[in-house]
Chain A
Amino acid sequence: MEGTEIVEDEGILRPMKCELNHLTMPDGSAMFMQGDTAVVAGIYGPVEARVQKMMYDKASIEVVYTPIKGPPCVDDRMREQIIKETCEAALIATLHPGTAICINVQELQDSGGLLACTVNAACLALINSGLSMKFMIGAVNCMIEKDSQKLILDPDTTQIQEAKATFTFIFDSSKKDLVSCQTTGRFTEKEFLYSFDKCKEASQCVFQFFRSIVTKYATRI
């Protein structure tokens, strides 16, 4: 596939693949794969906002997440909210007052770490759309294994079944601080902070990958 890049960073994270300008109609689009988890994201914006959602001082950000099967459910609402709030933190919404920025995400396959994958795809699509951002956002998923208490970065579906706790951290690219966080299961404070540190380190790989993708596409323009 043209424009595909694989980063196998010493097996820390599953290999990432990305294709920008995957769709023709959106202002920015990206197909992003992390291991076998795949997502397509498309951005329309700034476009005219619906009257109820219009804000006079900044752009309203709308996120539509479409699952692979069935109608969107309450779980998807929550995912949409996280993507929306995270992208809102990264975007400079005040540059486009009275408009809307629509982020559409379509799940293609879920083999673990879906939330991290959607956020990364949304970020790449935003980069591709050329909207001004304060920083990039990179999401890393990790888990703690039930028996061995071992930390596994970016686990797949079979590994997640053995998890006692899973974490999804979303970092910003400038200060590497925490933008969003979601957890499942029970864990100690030590485990949480350890996972936080490890994911922070791993987020470097994600940002490195984003940069390599941008450079790759920039040379062709």
Chain B
Amino acid sequence: MRRNLPRSKYQKGIIHPIKYLRDYLERDIRPDGRQFLRVRPMSVNVRSITQADSSSIFKIGNTTVVCGIKAELAEPKVETPDCGYIIPNVELPPLCSPKFRPGPPSDQAQISSKIVETVFLNSGVLDPRNLCISKNKLVWVLYCDLICIDYDGSVMDACVGALMAALKTLTLPEVEHNPDTGAIIVHPSKRLSVPLKGAPVCTTFALFEDQLLIPDPTEEEESLALARLSLVIDGEELCGVYKAGGIPISQEVLMKSLSQSKKRAELVRKLIDTAISST
């Protein structure tokens, strides 16, 4: 057997998963050797896919999400004639985890796409009016494809991070539109970046017995957690607090998670900025 195998199934706690995790938590450490409030190392790479208008790869520990944004021209929706729109799509292919099977998008993939969309809309990071070329006639549509390569917990954090990194490097070609003739001239050489406001950062927490709160859970922690909580922070403001079921949490835990996610948000923001400036 190779020595550098991650950990054998036996050691991974397949036999008594709950006891395995509890034994660690009782000793004030997590199965991957982290302290309770430590987050995994993150890395970002931008402009890695040249065929897309902008792209990014976001890694949190083993969790990897690739984002590609493709811009297309389309007619605006009737109810919002001066607004462009984005269509985020989170894919959880069978490659990323044994939990997913081939076939139509799972419920979880659909919900993830929806959360990414709500985070984007609630944060107001991109004014949809900036995607308008000609009112009632022509707008940009941004197809944001987020593909999870490795599903090892806190996938939403990676999705939001990847989307923001990709949006920050997005450039759109200049388009001339003649409203009378309907002629469209695209100048692929003249590319302009899209003005953005802020950068929302999502942080996921897992909760265990006695209101133990740990940020950035791995997949095994996430699946055994008694509750999960996601906070989206943008600068001094919040733009999303999501918790679906699980054990009830008190206000103190909520406050603690708020302060933790603020620290993390600052870290992620700096990381994305460094990644962009270094390329």
Separation in Å of the A94 CB from the closest CB of chain B?
14
Number of contact residues on A: which range applies? Answer: 20 to 34
- Asked whether A186 and B122 contact (CB < 8 A) given A85-B244, A175-B248, A180-B245, the answer is yes
Tell yes or no: A193 within 8 A of B by CB: yes
Tell yes or no: B113 within 8 A of A by CB: yes
Which residues of B in the span 206-263 have a Cβ within 8 Å of any Cβ on A? 227, 234, 236-251, 254-255, 258
Q: Give the total number of A-B pairs whose CB atoms are below 8 A apart.
A: 90
Give a binary string over A175-211; 1 marks a CB under 8 Å from any B CB, 0 the rest: 1011111111111110011001000000000000000
- Asked whether A172 and B248 contact (CB < 8 A) given A81-B111, A189-B258, the answer is yes
Partner of B248, one of A85, A179, A183: A179
B251: chain A residues within 8 A (beta carbon): 178, 193, 196
B side interface size, CB within 8 A: 31
B254: nearest chain-A partner, CB-CB: A178
Tell yes or no: B129 within 8 A of A by CB: no
- Asked whether A187 and B237 contact (CB < 8 A) given A177-B250, A178-B249, the answer is yes
- Asked whether A183 and B240 contact (CB < 8 A) given A77-B111, A178-B254, the answer is yes
Separation in Å of the B60 CB from the closest CB of chain A?
23
Inter-chain contact B113/A74, CB cutoff 8 Å? yes
Tell yes or no: A96 within 8 A of B by CB: no
> What is the bound-complex CA distance between A196 and B241, given in angstroms?
11
B154: chain A residues within 8 A (beta carbon): none
> What is the bound-complex CA distance between A167 and B242, given in angstroms?
10
Binding site for B on A (CB under 8 A): 74-75, 77-78, 81-82, 84-89, 135, 167, 171-172, 175, 177-189, 192-193, 196
Given A177-B250, A193-B251, 13 additional A-B pairs, CB 8 A: A74-B110, A77-B111, A86-B244, A175-B248, A177-B249, A178-B251, A179-B248, A182-B241, A183-B240, A184-B118, A187-B239, A189-B238, A192-B241
Binding site for A on B (CB under 8 A): 107, 110-111, 113-115, 118, 122-124, 227, 234, 236-251, 254-255, 258
The 30 listed contacts between A and B (C-beta, < 8 Å) are A74-B111, A74-B113, A77-B107, A77-B110, A77-B114, A78-B111, A78-B115, A81-B111, A84-B245, A86-B245, A87-B245, A88-B245, A89-B245, A89-B246, A89-B247, A135-B248, A178-B243, A179-B248, A183-B122, A183-B240, A183-B241, A183-B242, A185-B239, A186-B234, A186-B237, A186-B239, A187-B237, A187-B239, A188-B237, A193-B251
